[in-house]
């Protein structure tokens, strides 16, 4: 399973890259705004800065909601760097745009997916990635991991190459649940990935090892 980080913060992206398990980055207009990035030139430069840090795919979202606008923005974003994946919303025009980009060989990420039917349409259109938002489903008492399971079954039934990119992933339980089901990718804050490191027995075991080493070293001095 690939690990993507869901942020536009360059410091967090660099830390995740240095950690050694980062496979890519996802962003959206909200994350860009959080970093104070606005204006086409600044946004495009920021995407290039992200591409300079990571080795894998970088999802860059279109702002337009109409077909022509999505095509214009998507082609402009894709021209920035070969790592760029054009992120397109799950709408009728979005599906049309994904089909267009697929024929052009431009990688896409269909975002704001909340049902298996939507994921099926994205795969039919040739999306590279589909992004079901599991945390937001959990917020309204719908089983987000259950949706990942449904999509996995449908994609496996028909051999779709579209990768399941579990989004709105908020904690280690989400990550492990996605791994058990067979999601291709998760995208989350860095904190959720780092939480996989934690176990009280690891901490206590390491403390014991160090204490024993110090005790023997002190005896030999």
- What the block records as the tokens of 23 is 């496979």
170 pLDDT exceeds 90?
yes
Q: Residue 143's CB: how many other CB atoms inside 10 A?
A: 12
pLDDT in tens, 172-217: 999 999 999 999 999 999 999 999 999 989 989 999 989 988 888 8
Task: Write out the H or E segment, with its range, that includes residue 112.
Answer: strand 108-113
- Listed residue (79, 9, 86) closest to 50, CA to CA: 9
What integer best gives the mean pLDDT of the chain? 96
pLDDT of 53: 97
Contact, 85 vs 108, CB < 8 A? yes
Contact, 112 vs 89, CB < 8 A? yes
Strands 57-61, 163-166: pairing is unpaired
Residues labelled as active-site residues: 87
162 pLDDT exceeds 90?
yes
pTM for the predicted model, two decimal places: 0.93
221 pLDDT exceeds 80?
no
pLDDT in tens, 42-66: 999 999 999 999 999 999 999 999 9
pLDDT in tens, 83-139: 999 999 999 999 999 999 999 999 999 999 999 999 999 999 999 999 999 999 999
220 pLDDT exceeds 90?
no
pLDDT of 173: 96
pLDDT of 216: 84
């Amino acid at each position: 399973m690939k690990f993507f980080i869901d942020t536009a913060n360059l410091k967090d992206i660099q830390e995740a890259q240095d950690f050694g398990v980062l496979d890519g980055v996802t962003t959206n207009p909200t994350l860009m705004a959080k970093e104070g990035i606005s204006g086409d030139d600044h946004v495009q430069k920021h995407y290039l800065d992200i591409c300079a840090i990571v080795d894998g795919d970088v999802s860059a979202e279109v702002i337009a909601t109409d077909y022509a606008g999505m095509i214009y923005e998507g082609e402009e974003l894709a021209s920035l760097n070969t790592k760029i994946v054009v992120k397109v919303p799950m709408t009728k025009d979005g599906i049309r745009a994904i089909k267009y980009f697929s024929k052009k060989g431009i990688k896409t990420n269909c975002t704001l997916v909340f049902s298996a039917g939507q994921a099926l349409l994205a795969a039919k259109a040739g999306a590279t990635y589909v992004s079901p938002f599991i945390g937001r489903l959990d917020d309204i008492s719908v089983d987000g991991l259950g949706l990942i399971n449904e999509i996995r079954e449908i994609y496996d039934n028909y051999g779709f190459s579209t990768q399941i990119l579990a989004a709105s992933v908020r904690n280690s339980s989400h990550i492990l649940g996605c791994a058990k089901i067979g999601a291709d990718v998760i995208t989350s804050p860095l904190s959720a990935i780092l939480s996989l490191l934690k176990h009280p027995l690891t901490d206590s075991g390491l403390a014991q090892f160090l204490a024993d080493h110090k005790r023997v070293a002190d005896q030999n001095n």
